[in-house]
Amino acid sequence: MKIALADLPIEPFELPAEIVSVRIDKATGKLSTKTDKSSLFEFFQVGTAPTEYISADNSVDIFQSEDDVKNEEEELF
């Protein structure tokens, strides 16, 4: 492809005016402010992007045993 396009100038990609990019939480599909692997950028037409942010931490402590998690859940109810 480099050879086929060698004579053409490099043009940066610009988003169309009606498209916006927002950071989305992978688990919920809601807006996120996290910058780790739990989120990613998605593209939407203007006016169709989610408007609600995630309200709680959806991450899991990988060092916590399943029994501890079950006990925490039982204590909540």
C-alpha–C-alpha distance, residues 67 and 9, integer Å: 60
- Tokens of residue 60, six digits: 């899991």
For residue range 21-75, what is the model confidence (pLDDT) as tens digits? 999 999 999 999 998 899 999 999 999 999 999 886 555 555 655 555 555 555 5
DSSP for 13-62, please give it: ----TTEEEEEEETTT-SB----STTEEEEEEETT-S--PBP-S-----T
Domain ranges of the chain: 17-54
Higher pLDDT, 64 or 15: 15
Task: Give me the pLDDT at residue 72, please.
Answer: 54
Residue 46: HSE in the Cβ half-sphere, 13 Å Cα cutoff:
5
Task: Give me the pLDDT at residue 55, please.
Answer: 82
Full-prediction pTM beyond 0.75? no
Higher pLDDT, 2 or 71: 2
